[in-house]
């Protein structure tokens, strides 16, 4: 029997989640799912991600590979500039597939990310990392007017021009932006930069599987066709299944039922550093999609076992408004390392010959048992591996789950009106200081 790419276990959230409660939610889940299929839900102008993976992307893949080849041929470093959905999916995917230290371990072009903060020290560190190496820029923005990436792009573009001259610098810039208009689009046309398109009907936090994420992945050597194939398989598994067998239904329903039971903070728990930034992507997806009324879940992330030595105390004995969703890799045997041999095992004789994965599995089981006894329900998501295919599958799973979850709460999953508040205040302060 073929192993499933993804499984969901809600046993450690019983009795807050049970078959009777799930069945009672089925009509609402069906209506939410149907509204996505029919394009009648709130925010329906931004449903391009829903069937994106099954579209014919042969030309897109050729365009991305052509841009990636040009970048790799002339640059040892690519600086990717973006914020939010224009940054998190790309960097999260790189770490998910290739690991936290991919830049130190790769023979491919290194990829660094900027434009997601206003930190002079962070920008300086990237300059030092580039050093005398040749570099290129991928700037990602639909409009080109978001302050953080616009400033970072201007900064690194200036370095590029000073180093190579205007003509050569223009050959080292790729703009991922709107197809027809906007400040960044117009700059790209004027300077004849390489251009890739951010689809009009896909919002930033749903855009990881578009050019936004695919170009950095391609430059880093990730199989982008495999990532799209994984998302396509997830679409086939979940989009046409209007039943409680659908894992996206069950996850969305589980979150809803736990919220009704007073669990209004969800911690996405990972045990692998390579999934840390994936957790940040998940956090943006759910936080920005659902955070538009007071009665919603606050999403956060934990990296275990590290955080067991800090926030683990709060989880065990603090206020009982938290539930955990554990995202775990079902590792391949080839990835296993032996912890201890005979010579180094005097203090831990019971671990002689055991693998690191074995110990991690025991730590995970013990944590879930202890937290459950302490009143913290736990959902368990197990993904088969950290391949590009699994990355695409998991991205789509969470995107569809998030849309359904938001619709259960009568929230538009695809807008973010509150984000504009800080932008307005920031621009007012900046302009008043002129």
Given the residues 148, 157, 266, 288, the one annotated as active site: 288
| Mutual angle of helices 388-408 and 247-260, in 10-degree steps | 50
Structure tokens given for 386: 């950290």
- Phi, psi dihedrals of residue 300, rounded to the nearest 5°: -145, 175
Residue 359: which residues within 8 A CB-CB, separation 6 or more? 339, 351
Concerning whether 33 is annotated as a catalytic residue, the answer is no
Q: What is the DSSP letter of 84?
A: G
**The dihedral sign for the CA sequence 325, 331, 337, 338:** positive
Concerning whether 309 is annotated as a catalytic residue, the answer is yes
Given the residues 128, 309, 343, 434, the one annotated as active site: 309
**What is the DSSP annotation of 48-67?**
TTTTGGGS--HHHHHHHHHH
H/E stretch holding 35 = helix 19-38
Closest CA to 35 of 412, 419, 393: 412
**The dihedral sign for the CA sequence 240, 246, 248, 250:** positive
Given the residues 4, 101, 369, 423, the one annotated as active site: 423
User: Would you say 214 and 227 are in contact if contact means Cβ atoms under 8 Å apart?
Assistant: yes
CA distance 121 to 134: 21
Would you please indicate which residues are annotated as catalytic (active-site) residues? 288, 309, 423
């Amino acid at each position: 029997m073929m192993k499933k790419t993804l499984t969901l276990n809600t046993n450690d959230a019983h009795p807050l989640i049970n078959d009777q409660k799930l069945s009672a939610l089925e009509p609402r889940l069906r209506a939410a799912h149907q509204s996505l299929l029919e394009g009648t839900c709130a925010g329906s102008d931004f449903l391009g991600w829903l069937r994106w993976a099954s579209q014919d992307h042969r030309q897109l893949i050729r365009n991305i590979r052509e841009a990636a080849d040009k970048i790799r041929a002339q640059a040892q470093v690519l600086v990717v500039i973006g914020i939010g959905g224009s940054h998190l999916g790309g960097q999260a995917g790189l770490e998910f597939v290739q690991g936290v230290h991919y830049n130190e371990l790769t023979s491919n072009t290194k990829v660094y990310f900027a434009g997601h903060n206003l930190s002079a020290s962070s920008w300086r560190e990237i300059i030092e990392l580039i050093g005398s190496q040749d570099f290129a820029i991928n700037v990602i923005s639909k409009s080109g007017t978001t302050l953080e990436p616009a400033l970072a792009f201007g900064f690194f573009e200036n370095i590029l021009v000073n180093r190579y001259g205007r003509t050569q610098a223009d050959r080292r810039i790729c703009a991922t932006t709107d197809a027809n208009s906007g400040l960044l689009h117009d700059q790209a046309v004027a300077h004849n930069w390489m251009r890739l398109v951010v689809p009009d009907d896909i919002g930033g936090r749903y855009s990881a599987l578009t050019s936004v994420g695919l170009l950095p992945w391609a430059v880093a050597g990730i199989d982008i066709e495999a990532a799209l194939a994984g998302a396509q398989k997830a679409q086939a598994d979940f989009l046409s299944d209007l039943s409680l067998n659908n894992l996206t239904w069950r996850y969305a329903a589980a979150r809803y039922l736990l919220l009704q039971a007073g669990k209004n903070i969800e911690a996405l728990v990972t045990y692998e550093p390579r999934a840390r930034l994936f957790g940040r992507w998940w956090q943006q997806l759910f936080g920005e999609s659902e955070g538009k009324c007071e009665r919603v879940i606050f999403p956060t992330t934990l990296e275990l076992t590290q955080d067991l030595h800090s926030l683990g105390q709060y989880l065990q004995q603090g206020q009982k408004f938290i539930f955990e969703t554990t995202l775990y890799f079902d590792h391949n045997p080839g990835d296993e390392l032996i912890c201890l041999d005979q010579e180094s095992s005097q203090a831990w004789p019971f671990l002689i010959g055991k693998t690191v994965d074995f110990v991690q599995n025991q730590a995970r089981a013990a944590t879930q048992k202890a937290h459950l006894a302490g009143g913290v329900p736990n959902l368990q998501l197990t993904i088969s591996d950290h391949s590009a295919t699994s990355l695409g599958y998991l991205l789509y799973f969470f995107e569809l789950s998030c849309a359904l979850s938001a619709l259960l709460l009568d929230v538009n999953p695809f807008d973010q009106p509150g984000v504009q508040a800080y932008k307005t205040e920031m621009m007012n302060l900046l302009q008043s200081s002129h």
